[in-house]
Structure 1
Amino acid sequence: MTAASTRARITVTAVAAVLLGGVAVGYTALSAPPEPDVESGAVTGPRVQVLTNGRLSAVSRTDPSGPREVTEERCDRAYTAGGTTACLRPVGALKAGELAVLGPGQRELVTVPLTGFPNRARVSASGRMVAWTLFVDGHSYAANGFSTATGILDLKTGTQVASLEEFTSSVDGRPVQAADRNYWGVTFSADDNRFYATMSTGGHRYLVEGDFAARTVKALADNVECPSLSPDGRRIAYKAAVGGDPQQGWRLSTMDLATREVTPLAETRSVDDQPTWLDENTIAYGVQRGDGVNDVWTVPADATGAPDVLAREANSPAPL
């Protein structure tokens, strides 16, 4: 067992004890604001999945302010692609959370017990690969000394990686085995093997490219967090720490993977979310209001235009 995996296991155990001691009660209360006043009904045509007060929902892409299809399935974070839904279920007062993988009709395919605070979820375009990120120490990427746990599940083979810290990592071709490594924000390529994520170590937050079969990750660029691969696989959308310092907030940007050209987008507010490509030209993301409630916004992917509200009182957007 590596020092990193030992550290992660000790941290998870400690957090589990804290959760059972009552912290989860406060977290659940914070993540469950009053029911939003939305009209419920069937949604047809192009749709976007969101969470409405923690419940899986769908809004019309062409009429997002119209009726919202709200289900009874509760998640703290969710993402759907290829007929597969990854639902990070809320932490309860007397239990830790879990990943529920749902198929068509929200049929439960598998559950994975987890300990930590739900943070990110992603599914590959085919629906085969599922990834999740949890905070196991600290509640913010801007906090000093935070720790995350990021895992991947291959639904076809049943292979599960509990933590990307098990993978061999490198920066500039040199192996990195530092105990301070953290990973978060996975996004998958079309081949269901290659993926991108953020690796934090030594004060840097790198965009890394991973090979699931080879169990390796290698750093590609600095100051990249929560990447999201475009539908054509050529660009990533991500949040970049302003001045390289997360304490100053994050600027939503895109990067061309071939040229490494960075394009800051028209959204100038700090965005602490993993963005989503609704199509090749539009990026969606959540922004928390002053009252603690999230709204889903969109912005053009080419730095033109201006941010626009897609769905009030919602988060976790995913194109359906």
Structure 2
Amino acid sequence: MTNRLLITLTAAVLLGGVAVGYTALSGAAPDDPVQAGPAGAGPRLMVLSNGRLSRTGPAGSREVTDQLCDRAYTAAGTTSCLRPAGALKASELAVLTGDLRESRTVALTGFPNRTRVSASGRMVAWTLFVDGHSYAANGFSTSTGVLDTKTGALVMTLEDFAVEGMAQRPADANYWGVTFTADDNRFYATMSTGGHRYLLEGDFAARRVRPLTDLDDVECPSLSPDGTRIAYKKAVGGDPRRGWRVSVLDLATRRITELAETRSVDDQPAWIDDRTVAYGLQRDDGLNDVWSVPADGTGTPAVLVPEASSPAPLG
């Protein structure tokens, strides 16, 4: 990992750490042009609406809070919120309870990029760029850490873990896109080294990771609720500069299914249920929409939540 740090945080805003309440969409601030989806559409999700944590309902309604995050994810009443701590200051992780009160903050360095919470709400992971701003660029550097909210155990970087099959940890290794299994100990992530990007299996308690070298170009994995498949972004032709195709890997058979979304998706997919994968896509006007597509390769992509990002199912 390079020691170079990202030093250009140009528009950071000092954020408060108090509890926030939900505001009905009709009462949102004038500069928040979020619109509800069609009646009867959509599952219950936590999303970011123009950077604000928001809860969507099955009828397309949306409740918007004043809690700002750059990236977020929610599971079992735990929300991971990545945000800048203040102008020209480092980023931070805020762990929020079900009523969005802060239970812990962790000072970080870098630009918020990915975050995940285990299904039980216990484990929180994050990825930041500390050099560069794109996985398609050469010379980028990431920092990925994990917090056990039950024990307080904190790993600031997966680079401290032993790499199975290697006498020494590779100096050029980067890790990103953690997803947890149901036991709150094992996890999957992406590891890049020597010009290759592998799916990685990790053991948090043992502080050890194992590259699955038969699985190239598995980036930003997301484990399905039943634990049998991984949704991820797959570099087109093995070259991230050509973009990424949302795909699903069957862990038992190693079968890969490219999903019906043919546009480039630079996001960590989220499973809405065992049949549906969601992801964010940026529009020409710079805003994001959350899209969904069937996980079996059939169907057609559809907007799930307009003007939103960072989807997480609420059950």
Instruction: Please indicate, yes or no, whether the TM-score normalized by the shorter chain is above 0.5.
Output: yes
**1:135 and 1:306, CA in 2 relative to 1: closer, same or farther beyond 3 A?**
same
**1:168 and 1:70, CA in 2 relative to 1: closer, same or farther beyond 3 A?**
same
Shift of 1:179: 1.0
Are the counterparts in 1 of residues 34 and 49 from structure 2 also a CA contact under 8 Å? no
Are the counterparts in 1 of residues 265 and 280 from structure 2 also a CA contact under 8 Å? yes
Q: C-alpha deviations, 1:83-105, integer Å up to 9, x for none?
A: 10000013532322110001120
Using the alignment, how far apart are the partners of 1:121 and 1:241 within structure 2?
A: 21
Any idea what SS the aligned residue of 2:136 has?
A: coil
Shift of 1:292: 1.6
Shift of 1:258: 1.1
Equivalent in the alignment of 1:128: 122
Equivalent in the alignment of 2:222: 228
Using the alignment, how far apart are the partners of 2:285 and 2:168 within structure 1?
A: 41
**1:262 and 1:39, CA in 2 relative to 1: closer, same or farther beyond 3 A?**
closer
Equivalent in the alignment of 2:287: 293
Residues 1:11 and 2:8 are matched in the alignment = no
Equivalent in the alignment of 1:87: 81
**1:175 and 1:243, CA in 2 relative to 1: closer, same or farther beyond 3 A?**
farther
1:217 to 205, 209, 212: 209
State how 1:255-266 maps to structure 2 within 5 Å.
255-266=249-260
Equivalent in the alignment of 1:284: 278
Residues 1:271 and 2:291 are matched in the alignment = no
Using the alignment, how far apart are the partners of 1:26 and 1:72 within structure 2?
A: 18
Are the counterparts in 2 of residues 240 and 253 from structure 1 also a CA contact under 8 Å? yes
Q: C-alpha deviations, 1:50-82, integer Å up to 9, x for none?
A: 10111000112x333xx3100111100000001
Counterpart amino acid of 1:38?
Q
Using the alignment, how far apart are the partners of 1:91 and 1:296 within structure 2?
A: 26
Using the alignment, how far apart are the partners of 1:70 and 1:26 within structure 2?
A: 22
CA RMSD of aligned residues (A): 1.8
2:110 to 98, 101, 116: 116
Unaligned runs of 5+ in 2: 14-30
Shift of 1:174: 4.1
Are the counterparts in 2 of residues 142 and 247 from structure 1 also a CA contact under 8 Å? yes
Using the alignment, how far apart are the partners of 2:312 and 2:243 within structure 1?
A: 24
Any idea what SS the aligned residue of 2:99 has?
A: helix
Equivalent in the alignment of 1:206: 198
Shift of 1:24: 1.3
Using the alignment, how far apart are the partners of 1:292 and 1:38 within structure 2?
A: 16
1:188 to 156, 177, 180: 180
Equivalent in the alignment of 2:10: 25
Q: C-alpha deviations, 1:111-135, integer Å up to 9, x for none?
A: 0001110000100011110000000
Residues 1:38 and 2:38 are matched in the alignment = no
User: May I ask how many residue pairs the two structures share in their alignment?
Assistant: 292
**1:248 and 1:39, CA in 2 relative to 1: closer, same or farther beyond 3 A?**
closer
1:152 to 143, 146, 153: 146
Any idea what SS the aligned residue of 2:265 has?
A: coil
1:63 to 59, 62, 74: 59
Residues 1:249 and 2:243 are matched in the alignment = yes
Identity over the aligned pairs, expressed in percent? 68
TM-score normalised according to structure 2 size: 0.89
Equivalent in the alignment of 2:26: none
Equivalent in the alignment of 1:31: none
State how 1:166-185 maps to structure 2 within 5 Å.
166-170=160-164, 173-175=165-167, 177-185=169-177
Are the counterparts in 2 of residues 118 and 135 from structure 1 also a CA contact under 8 Å? yes
Equivalent in the alignment of 2:48: 51
Equivalent in the alignment of 2:17: none
Shift of 1:39: 5.6
Shift of 1:312: 1.1
Q: C-alpha deviations, 1:194-224, integer Å up to 9, x for none?
A: 0000001111110000000111111122110
Using the alignment, how far apart are the partners of 1:156 and 1:238 within structure 2?
A: 28
Equivalent in the alignment of 2:19: none
Residues 1:306 and 2:291 are matched in the alignment = no
Unaligned runs of 5+ in 1: 29-33
Equivalent in the alignment of 1:103: 97
TM-score normalised according to structure 1 size: 0.87
Are the counterparts in 2 of residues 36 and 52 from structure 1 also a CA contact under 8 Å? no
Any idea what SS the aligned residue of 2:298 has?
A: coil
